[in-house]
Structure 1
Amino acid sequence: MTRLAACFLALMPGLAMAQDSAPMSAIDWLSDSLATPPQIGPEEPPVEGGARVAEVTVTPLGAEQEPRPDAIGLLAPHMTGLPADLWGASEADVIARLIREEQTAMLPAAQALLLKILLAETDPPDSDDTDGDTVFLARIDKLLQMGALDQAHALLTRAGTATADVTRRWFDTALLIGAENEVCTAMDEVPDLTPTYPARIFCLARSGDWDGAVLLMGTARALGLITEEEDARLSRFLDPDLFEGEDALPVPRRVTPLTFRLFEAFGDSIPTTTLPLAFAQADLRSNIGWKAQVEAAERLARTGAVSDNQLLGLYTQQKAAASGGIWERVRAVQALEAALDDPDALATLLPDLWETLSEAETEVPIARIHGPTLAAHDLPGQAGEIALRMGLLSEDYETVAQQAEPETDIDRFLVAVAKGDVSGVTPPGDDARAVADGFSGMAPPEELSALVEDGKLGEALLRALNRLDDGAQGDLDDLAGALALLRAVGLEGTARRVALEYLILERRG
């Protein structure tokens, strides 16, 4: 018997009681990978000789303590431009709530700022709780909601088995990207963590200990500690040949990453199109069909969870196999790639390219790659307007604006926004007037200014992102106020990109 199985059998009495305790989670599709141990009530003294001293830690002199999860990040302050004391005096619970309330379907520049905040290496809030994972868990949950699994997994790997809630997310994120072995090993080495039967059986099998997994499966079945549905899935996972020719198992209403991987292992893969966005990452693997890869990349591109080059690479990987829908985008992008040095061809294809990319909301990733090149061509009419706007949606928006010769009122205003100076340019419409107000030197909203003055910059930025979302829904005062706040705290580039995207993309919810 393996050490993993032996340890588990020794803990069976406690697990029998804990099996009904669902993990606390804001992500309702997380696997029940860890059991919650039964708590000793205040009226129940600990068993003699078995008192727990988990609260006491001993650190050798000179040894470094592991950072609390809330302090873990991937991007240092000099990379983000955000201060280490981003959260300052804000309440940890307030920050966590604001992060969870942020929308994922926001303008790309706003998404980029949110992602930077989520990945930033910062000091924990002054009021952080004992475990120090309140803000960290909210950051991870938002990354999972956005489908940014690689970033979430990197943060979780740094945190390791800091707390049960952190480990639970680490396990599930690893399942979706096929990196679960490290987490299985870590859970086995921490006595305070008690993986549930399905998680332990899966980990034993993944490590190659099929005999241990079968033994544990038999024990769980005999003691009635797994459901009939879990029994059926795990049985097929451990020996799929026994069920060859039988009807496929019904897909459960609540699909967890562990369920998803089990179905995949015994040959009944669950389509990801109706699952939470995080599952779409599984369709980017090389063993998945090309169409499914492109569709997944488009879904993830809308939240900034795949790189521009990754999306472009999939668009241009093969020849379109059919017509309509996604194949029209494939053809249009491939035609663009072939015509970058041919102004006549570009003048013909750009209107259709813009229309089909707009339908999928993937115009910004392609514009960031090819926008400056397109804007440099002196294209006529509608194609010229599209080329200019694609250039303004790129990282080189200011250079494009300096070289532009706009011919319409809206294009003149867009160029002024890209330069950061709208004085002397008449805003052509209510949306443009709201942007002009945000760029006119107006004071940010009092609520946001007060937060910055109180040392709560991160909270102010999160609230400003919410206002930007309200602005996209039509609240022009909120739009102007959020832009003013971004400029006031030194995020000029973000303010310009947000304004340009707001005016060019015309996404109003």
Structure 2
Amino acid sequence: MQPAAAQEAGTTGGPLSAIDWLSQSVATPAAAAPDAGLVLPDEPPVAAAGTTLPADVTTSSLDGPAPDGVGLISPSVSGLPRGFWGAGLTREIAESLVSHPDDALPALRQLFLTILLAELNPPIDAGGRGELLLVRIDKLLALGALEQAAALIEAAGVTSPELFRRAFDVALLTGAEDRACDGMANAPHLAPTLPARIFCLARSGDWNTAALTIRTASALGQISADQEQLLSRFLDPDLYEGEPVPPPPSPVTPLDWMIYAAIGEPLPTDGLPIAFSYAELRPRSGWKARIEAAERLTRAGTIPPNVILGLYTENTPAASGGVWDRAAAFQAFDAAMAAGDPARVAATLPAVWNRMQEAELEVPFATLYAKALLDLPLTGAAADIAFRVGLLSPHAETWARRASPTTPEEAFLTAIALGRGAEALPPDSMARAISAAFRIPTPSVEGQRLLDGNRTGEAVIVAIDSIGRGVKGDLRGVTEGLSILRLAGLDAVARRTALELMILERRG
């Protein structure tokens, strides 16, 4: 089977996306057409075909299934119009999603996640094949948004092998192994591969059948010697006590990770794709490992800040340095906030803010504490930090309305938060690049072309990428990217992004 089911999609040849670490949990029937796509329950397949139509002419079934339109966030919540993709075509949209980097500012990461999860009209050439749905799910997996990916798969209501593989791996990494195996057992049209079958037989307690399956597969040459040893060790670790463990494959799949963990040889997740960090959030992992995993996922914007709050305050740090220093600083500040003591808050806020900057967790921290900080009478350095914390939070406008700026930078930040960016005097080069977008929006040539061509969604992704270049020194990208966001009707996102560009230390 190919590394990713999306490799079997696409009307112009070649993969739309690829995730090489998906478990080979089910076998895709060899007779399946390369572009068979997804079939909704009780619906006939929609024919995908080569066509003699010119490249700029597309067709779409008006009454067929529309898996590409499935989403979890309604337009009223997402702020994105249903016609977000406009005249865009599936392949071009997919390529823009797949190539999008994973290191954007927090506001832009949230915008991108919203795009992946939003209810939007399918591309005009979608034809009910579900190609863009697979690409969206794969991108969510690549970003570590496992729960969101699982919810999107469930909302699609599709039981194709391609989507089952993804659901199976999400279940493994989120601690729902039994549900993954039950899903396989309850779907007879899915043909489990040998490692997945053996894993699920063992989970159900059918050790004899699992052992017989290993012996038969080995005799028929269907598994390698290393696979046979690893699976046999999984069934009976005592037989291999003292013997070296087979080296892990490359890439490691979630099923591989689960088996190595089950035999007492867990593979570290810090060198694996971010999705594997979910596996470290389980109680059986050590406190330090769980904090590090939660930091990684919180930084990616894929889990709520309350998770890291709970982990930071769960125990007393056992040592110093790194994670332990962050936990200690966080606990001291959280206790001060709980006590409502302005003096203690003022004493602990600088230290915890430094630690949050160190881990690039400033925005989650602001989300947790900005509202409560509003009511505390702070002065000096603590007040300066609290002001920036407030502007990075969902309560930025409230903080800005209460502000009494004393420096040009504070005046500029306040104006941006209040939607008066065009009136503000920029204090530095970054601010000048930001101010230009709020005075006279000037998108890039590519961005303007996409906007003029009714391809707003692709223009917004170009904007995110342009601002990313700006963070690394190309300030023109900041102006062009913010301009596109504003022209696309995403002014609130542009303002939050501008505040993050000024406050967060992400330049260079």
Match of 1:307 in 2: 304
Amino acid at match of 1:225: Q
Match of 2:199 in 1: 202
1:241 maps onto 2:238 in alignment = yes
Deviation, 1:206, is 2.4
Q: Secondary structure at the match of 1:287?
A: coil
Match of 2:111 in 1: 113
Further displaced range: 206-215 or 282-291 = 206-215
- In the TM superposition, what whole-angstrom CA distance separates every residue of 1:455-485 from its partner, at most 9, and x where no partner exists? 3221121111111211211221221122122
Equivalent residue runs for 1:273-288 within 5 Å: 273-288=270-285
1:353 maps onto 2:345 in alignment = no
Equivalent residue runs for 1:400-479 within 5 Å: 400-479=399-478
The separation in 2 between residues aligned to 1:305 and 1:251, in whole angstroms, is 27
CA contact (8 A) 2:86 2:455 kept: yes
The separation in 2 between residues aligned to 1:57 and 1:258, in whole angstroms, is 28
1:35 maps onto 2:34 in alignment = no
Would the alpha carbon gap of residues 66 and 227 (structure 1) be closer, same or farther in structure 2, given more than 3 Å must change? farther
1:259 maps onto 2:251 in alignment = no
Percent of counterpart pairs with the same letter? 46
Q: Secondary structure at the match of 1:167?
A: helix
Amino acid at match of 1:395: P
Deviation, 1:130, is 5.9
Would the alpha carbon gap of residues 438 and 22 (structure 1) be closer, same or farther in structure 2, given more than 3 Å must change? closer
The separation in 1 between residues aligned to 2:426 and 2:487, in whole angstroms, is 22
CA contact (8 A) 2:173 2:276 kept: yes
Match of 1:13 in 2: none
Would the alpha carbon gap of residues 189 and 88 (structure 1) be closer, same or farther in structure 2, given more than 3 Å must change? farther
- In the TM superposition, what whole-angstrom CA distance separates every residue of 1:98-131 from its partner, at most 9, and x where no partner exists? 1111121111110110111111122221112563
CA contact (8 A) 1:397 1:418 kept: yes
Amino acid at match of 2:76: H
Match of 1:491 in 2: 490
Deviation, 1:211, is 2.9
Deviation, 1:92, is 0.7
Deviation, 1:300, is 0.9
1:138 maps onto 2:135 in alignment = yes
1:85 maps onto 2:77 in alignment = no
Would the alpha carbon gap of residues 393 and 272 (structure 1) be closer, same or farther in structure 2, given more than 3 Å must change? same
Amino acid at match of 1:107: L
Q: 1:250 aligns with which of 247, 250, 271?
A: 247
Q: 1:330 aligns with which of 327, 331, 343?
A: 327
CA contact (8 A) 1:159 1:166 kept: no
- In the TM superposition, what whole-angstrom CA distance separates every residue of 1:119-162 from its partner, at most 9, and x where no partner exists? 11222211125632x22222122211221111111112334554
CA contact (8 A) 1:92 1:129 kept: no
Match of 2:174 in 1: 177
The separation in 2 between residues aligned to 1:310 and 1:102, in whole angstroms, is 27
Match of 1:225 in 2: 222
Would the alpha carbon gap of residues 131 and 207 (structure 1) be closer, same or farther in structure 2, given more than 3 Å must change? farther
Would the alpha carbon gap of residues 68 and 246 (structure 1) be closer, same or farther in structure 2, given more than 3 Å must change? farther
1:73 maps onto 2:71 in alignment = yes
Deviation, 1:446, is 4.5
Q: Secondary structure at the match of 2:121?
A: coil
Would the alpha carbon gap of residues 87 and 183 (structure 1) be closer, same or farther in structure 2, given more than 3 Å must change? farther
Q: Tell me the TM-score normalized by structure 2.
A: 0.87
Would the alpha carbon gap of residues 490 and 185 (structure 1) be closer, same or farther in structure 2, given more than 3 Å must change? same
CA contact (8 A) 1:375 1:390 kept: no
The separation in 1 between residues aligned to 2:133 and 2:144, in whole angstroms, is 17
Give the aligned length. Answer: 474
Amino acid at match of 2:407: T
Further displaced range: 413-422 or 149-158 = 149-158
Amino acid at match of 2:317: A
Match of 1:103 in 2: 101
The separation in 2 between residues aligned to 1:93 and 1:22, in whole angstroms, is 19
Further displaced range: 186-195 or 319-328 = 186-195
Would the alpha carbon gap of residues 319 and 56 (structure 1) be closer, same or farther in structure 2, given more than 3 Å must change? closer
Further displaced range: 319-328 or 439-448 = 439-448
The separation in 2 between residues aligned to 1:488 and 1:59, in whole angstroms, is 40
CA contact (8 A) 1:160 1:166 kept: no
Further displaced range: 293-302 or 377-386 = 377-386
Further displaced range: 483-492 or 411-420 = 483-492
- In the TM superposition, what whole-angstrom CA distance separates every residue of 1:376-401 from its partner, at most 9, and x where no partner exists? 43433322211100011110000100
CA contact (8 A) 2:3 2:20 kept: no
Deviation, 1:73, is 1.5
The separation in 2 between residues aligned to 1:376 and 1:78, in whole angstroms, is 31
Q: How well do the aligned residues superpose, as a CA RMSD in angstroms?
A: 2.6
CA contact (8 A) 2:184 2:192 kept: yes
Q: Secondary structure at the match of 2:370?
A: helix
- In the TM superposition, what whole-angstrom CA distance separates every residue of 1:59-99 from its partner, at most 9, and x where no partner exists? 59xxxx99543222111222212122222221111111111
Deviation, 1:264, is 1.2
Would the alpha carbon gap of residues 230 and 448 (structure 1) be closer, same or farther in structure 2, given more than 3 Å must change? same
Where structure 1 has 5 or more consecutive residues not aligned to the other structure, the ranges are: 1-17, 42-51
CA contact (8 A) 1:99 1:142 kept: yes
CA contact (8 A) 1:448 1:460 kept: yes
Would the alpha carbon gap of residues 338 and 474 (structure 1) be closer, same or farther in structure 2, given more than 3 Å must change? same
- In the TM superposition, what whole-angstrom CA distance separates every residue of 1:395-448 from its partner, at most 9, and x where no partner exists? 000010000112111111111110110344320111000111111142434432
